[in-house]
Amino acid sequence: MVTNLTNLTTAKTFYDIIVFTNQVTNGIVGMMFMLVIFLILLTQFTKRYEITEAITASSFLCFVLSIILTSINLLNFSFIIGFGIIFAFGGFYIQFTKT
């Protein structure tokens, strides 16, 4: 495992640095990025909406972002499935509890 991150002679762009750190940490950088984005969105949405709507909206936006990040190989495919399931359950819950 490479631990010297200062020797990035092949990294020419910011994307190359992110890909390198994601490879060195075995995908933890992408996972933590999505977790932080989800929590930031959740806290901002709970200021305005109910918790069920906030979870559904946050999971939808993270679902879309995870599709983009998976297409450029920064995330694992399981994040798309995970956020899609959270979004689907949240949507069904909102739909069936509203009268």
CA atoms within 13 A on the CB side of 84: 8
Distance CA 60, CA 80 (A): 10
Q: For residue 51, what are the domain limits?
A: 27-97
**Do the Cβ atoms of 52 and 94 come closer than 8 Å?**
yes
Report how many domains make up the chain. Answer: 1
Distance CA 73, CA 10 (A): 18
Q: Provide the residue-wise pLDDT of the chain in tens; the chain has 99 residues.
A: 656 656 656 777 888 888 888 888 888 888 999 999 999 999 999 999 999 999 999 999 999 999 999 998 888 899 999 999 999 999 999 999 886
Neighbours of 53 (CB within 10 A): 16
Whether 75 is covered by a domain: the verdict is yes
Whether 31 is covered by a domain: the verdict is yes
Whether 21 is covered by a domain: the verdict is no
pLDDT one-digit tens code per residue, 30-58: 899 999 999 999 999 999 999 999 999 99
* Rg, Å, the chain Cα set: 17
pTM of the model: 0.81
